Amino acid sequence: MFAFLNPLRNMTVLSVLLRVLIATTCGALIGMERSAKNRPAGIRTHILVCFGSALAAIVGQYVYLVMKMPADITRISAQVITGLGFIGAGTIIITKKRTIKGLTTAAGLWVTGIVGITIGSGYFEGGIIGAVLILLTETVFGLLHGNIRRNLEYALELGYKNKDDLDDILRMCKDNRMSITNLRIQSTSPDDGKYTAVISLRGATKSDYLIKIIETMGGVTSVEEL
């Protein structure tokens, strides 16, 4: 794309140094954004991923172009892309509220590794453009994502005295624009006057608000979000 960069695409000490420095810088910039949001993988992790991926691409070129060995120049890079999936998986967690966190960080680590491979292969322009787009995605589009109204999903464990109390609770949930996606009666002890059920809900009402309403209803002995 830029002719003046062509000499740096050759396997020289200056070229290798420049590739490593650019990859490290791109990884640091992306990692700073993640660190600012207190995500599991921060600046050091992203630097190591981007730097290591670039070095892997450089090794592949060195073995083929300099050592003249009969090797696939892209094989090492392909293995790096596969291995990054295991690193990213470590950042994904399921919270007590059954929500998944860390997917963006995992995807960011994976694509940061590809940026490193791109730069390590000598395609400086593509790697830098990729890093900029990652930052835009995680910042600008992150703000847009926060403003998107979406349905909430959660489950409540209920304790109540009579069967009619459950009907009242379900009716109240529907009145608050919550759809019932699942209902499971966990245990019944009519002799003791105790019933337990778990209801899965989806809608626009927050769980804290709904729990406060349920707690004030007659016949309810307990309510807890799972």
**Domain residue ranges of the chain, discontinuous segments joined by +:** 3-147, 152-225
CA dist., res. 170 & res. 178, Å (int) = 9
Model pLDDT for residues 207-225, shown as the tens digit of each residue:
888 888 888 888 888 888 8
Q: What is the average pLDDT value for the chain, to the nearest integer?
A: 83
What pLDDT is recorded for position 65? 82
The b/e string for 187-216 (b: 16+ C-beta within 10 A; e otherwise) is eeeeeeeebbbebbbebebebeebeebbee
Q: Are 34 and 43 spatial neighbours (Cβ–Cβ below 8 Å)?
A: yes
- Is the pLDDT at 203 greater than 80, yes or no? yes
Q: Are 213 and 205 spatial neighbours (Cβ–Cβ below 8 Å)?
A: no
CA angle, 139 then 144 then 148, to 5° = 145
Query: Tokens 């600008």 identify what position?
Result: 140
Helix (H, G, I), strand (E, B) or coil at 215: helix
CA dist., res. 19 & res. 30, Å (int) = 17
CA angle, 8 then 9 then 15, to 5° = 50
Which H or E run includes 163?
helix 163-175
Q: Are 169 and 197 spatial neighbours (Cβ–Cβ below 8 Å)?
A: no
- Is the pLDDT at 26 greater than 90, yes or no? yes
Model pLDDT for residues 110-164, shown as the tens digit of each residue:
999 999 999 998 889 899 999 999 988 888 877 776 666 667 788 888 888 887 8
Q: What would the CATH number be for the domain defined by 152-225?
A: 3.30.70.260
**Tokens for 154?**
């959660």
The b/e string for 48-68 (b: 16+ C-beta within 10 A; e otherwise) is bbbbbbbbbbbebbebbeeee
What pLDDT is recorded for position 215? 86
Whole-model pTM over 0.85: no
Read off φ and ψ for residue 81, nearest 5 degrees: -60, -40
